[in-house]
């Protein structure tokens, strides 16, 4: 299955049904009068976050979605049926952007979340609606109003608890394979990872989702290499794991380069909690490890070189310690988010009680 994280689609809600102009004509009924019914409302266009989707590849083959037109009114005061809505299912974590990408119309972060993007057109009135004491036989019936029509961009940002960043060949895919059951492509040449990959990590009976994105190179924010388009998939991660290849000469320069690309990208990535990791220590001598750890700690402004994690994705050394540290921060972030949600829910309930009719009576 191909990975696609951006797509442009066309949405149109259904037009409203037309009203009917009709008069009641029955034998022995002298004054039948108008009995044309109203039309039905057009179908809405709804986007829904589906749990079983993880790519936008379906929108490569279908770009147009249209709600059903409302049915026309009929005689005998029969109102037309409303048009069926069209539900566009997208992966969890999808953002809906305007055509010029200047505005976020919806952000679907939980499974089952729904948003109405285009409202169906209003129905037209039948001639029975215009009957009055001075107009006993109106000959007016309105057409339905047209539905809304827009082009939108879908942008997928994967939902993960921790993200792996670093230069190409820093060992990100190897760590993902060692920490989870994911099987990303691993090779000894740059850019083996062409698309983001997810893995479920288990540590001490706890589980979290780890995201691996393609490596960054200098000038990625200007489009060099694969660019920085995949950084959007770690925007929602509370933790970033920065892997630095210990076998290269200038580990401090590699760290600074990635930080520069994160700063150029923006979206608060440089402010996120980062775990600095010196990878591939199985290929280094003890004195090399000590020297490069000190250089990396200085580049990352760490008070103690011991804060730099030493890792070998091949042998598994240091993997558990890193995952435990990441989980402690993820657990704290989840608790803070749950507390913030509880406070928001409590505040909403308090406001609802404050302005309820019962509160006014009391």
pLDDT in tens, 162-182: 888 888 888 888 888 888 887
pLDDT in tens, 321-358: 999 999 999 888 888 877 876 554 545 555 455 444 44
**CA distance linking residue 38 with residue 45, whole number of Å:** 22
pLDDT tens-digit series, residues 223-278:
676 667 778 888 888 899 999 988 888 888 989 998 988 888 887 888 888 899 99
**Model confidence at 42, in pLDDT bands (50, 70, 90)?**
very high
- The reported pLDDT for the residue numbered 358 is 41
φ and ψ at 344, to 5 degrees?
A: -65, -40
At residue 333, the 3 state secondary structure works out as: helix
What's the rounded Cα separation, in Å, for the pair 252 and 345? Answer: 45
| 117-121, 140-144, 205-209: least confidently modelled range | 205-209
Report how far residue 122's alpha carbon sits from residue 261's, in angstroms, rounded to the nearest whole number.
49
Comparing C-alpha atoms, which of 97, 68, 100 is closest to residue 83? 68
Write the class of the CATH domain 162-336. Answer: alpha beta
What CATH class does 6-156 carry? mainly beta
Can you tell me whether residue 218 is helix, strand or coil?
coil
Phi-psi region of 301 (alpha: psi -120 to 50; beta: other; left: phi over 0): left
CB atoms near residue 325 (< 10 Å)? 16
- Is residue 51 predicted with pLDDT exceeding 90? no
pLDDT of the residue at 246: 87
CATH 3.40.50.300 residue window(s) in the chain: 162-336
Whole-number average pLDDT of the chain = 85
Partners of 104 in the beta sheet? 97
pTM of the entire predicted model: 0.76
pLDDT tens for each residue of 53-108: 888 888 988 999 999 999 999 999 999 999 999 999 999 889 999 999 889 999 99
Domain with CATH 2.70.210.12 in the chain: 6-156
Residue with tokens 């029969």: 78
Percent of the chain surpassing pLDDT 70: 91
Confidence (pLDDT) at 357 = 45
pLDDT score, position 157: 86
pLDDT at 139: 92
Nearest C-alpha neighbor of 87 from the set 51, 33, 46: 46
Q: Which residue did the predictor score with more confidence, 288 or 198?
A: 288
φ/ψ of residue 349, rounded to 5 = -65, -40
Residues 6+ apart with CB under 8 A from 9: 59, 63, 64, 65, 88, 151, 152, 154
């Amino acid at each position: 299955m191909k990975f696609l994280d951006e797509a442009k689609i066309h949405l149109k809600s259904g037009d409203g049904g037309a009203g009917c102009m009709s008069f009641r004509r029955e034998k022995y009924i002298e004054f039948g009068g108008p009995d044309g019914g109203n039309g039905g409302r057009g179908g809405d266009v709804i986007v829904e976050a589906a749990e079983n989707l993880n790519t936008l590849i379906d929108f490569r083959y279908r770009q147009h979605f249209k709600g059903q037109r409302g049915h026309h009114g009929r005689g005998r005061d029969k109102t037309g049926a409303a048009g069926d809505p069209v539900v566009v299912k997208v992966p969890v974590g999808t953002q809906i952007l305007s055509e010029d990408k200047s505005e976020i119309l919806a952000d679907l972060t939980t499974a089952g979340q729904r948003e109405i993007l285009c409202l169906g057109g209003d129905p037209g009135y039948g001639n029975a609606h215009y009957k009055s004491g001075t107009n006993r036989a109106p000959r007016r019936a309105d057409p339905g109003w047209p539905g809304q029509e827009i082009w939108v961009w879908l942008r997928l940002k994967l939902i993960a608890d921790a993200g792996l960043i670093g230069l190409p060949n820093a060992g990100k895919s190897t760590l993902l394979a060692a920490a989870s059951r994911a099987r990303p492509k691993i090779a000894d040449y740059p850019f083996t990872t062409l698309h983001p990959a997810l893995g479920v990590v288990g540590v001490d009976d706890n589980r979290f989702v780890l995201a691996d994105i393609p490596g960054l190179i200098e000038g990625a924010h200007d489009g060099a290499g694969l660019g920085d388009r995949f950084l959007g998939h770690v925007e929602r991660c509370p933790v970033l794991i920065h892997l630095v290849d210990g076998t290269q000469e200038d580990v401090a320069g590699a760290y600074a380069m990635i930080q520069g690309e994160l700063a150029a990208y923006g979206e608060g990535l440089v402010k996120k909690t980062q775990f600095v990791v010196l990878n591939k220590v199985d290929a280094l001598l003890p004195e090399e490890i000590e020297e490069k750890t000190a250089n990396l700690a200085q580049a990352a402004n760490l008070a103690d070189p011991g804060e730099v994690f030493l890792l070998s994705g091949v042998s598994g050394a240091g993997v558990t310690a890193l995952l435990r540290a990441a989980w402690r921060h993820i657990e704290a972030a989840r608790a803070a988010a749950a507390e913030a949600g509880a406070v928001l829910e409590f505040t909403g309930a308090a406001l609802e009680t404050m302005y309820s009719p019962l509160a006014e009576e009391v």
